[in-house]
Structure 1
Amino acid sequence: MGYIYLDNAATTPMASEVIEVMHEQMINTFGNASATNYFGRQARKVLDESRHTIAQSINAKDSEIVFTSGGTEADNTAIISTALSRQDRGKHIITDTTEHEAVLKPMAYLESIGFDVTYLEPDESGVISVKSVKNALTDDTILVSIMYGNNEVGSVNPISEIGELLKDHQAYFHTDAVQAYGTEDIDVKAENIDMLSTSAHKLYGPKFMGFLYINDSIHIPSLIMGGDQETKRRAGTENIPAIAGFAEAVRMASDSEKKARREKYFGFKQQIQKILNENGIKYGINGPSTSHGLNHVFNLYLPGIDRGILLTRLDLDGFEVSGGSACTAGSLEPSHVLIAMFGKDSPRIHDSLRISFGKNNTPEEVEAFTKKLIEIVNDLTN
Structure 2
Amino acid sequence: MAARLFDMRVRLRLGTLLMALGLLPALLSGCASLARHHEAMLVLGDLSAGSEESRLKRRTEAPRREGVEYVRRGRAYRADVYHPLEPRRGSLILVHGFTEQGRRDPRLVALARTLGRVGFRVMVPELDGLRDYSISTREVQAIVDAVHYATRTGSQAPSHTALAAVSFAVGPTLIAAMDQEVASAVSFVVAVGGYYDMTDLLRYVTTGEDRGGSAREAPPPQREARWAVLMSQLHWLEDAQDRALLESIARRRLTDPESSVRDEARRLGPSGSALYELVTNEDPGRIEALIDKLPPALVKELEALDPSRQPLDRLHARLVLIHGPQDRVIPISHSRRLRDALPQGQARLFETQALQHVAVSPDWRDGWGLWRALVHVLALGEDKGEDE
TM-score band, normalised by shorter chain: under 0.3
Higher helix residue share? 2
Structure scoring higher RCO (CA < 8 A, sep ≥ 6) equals: 1
TM-score by length of 2: 0.25
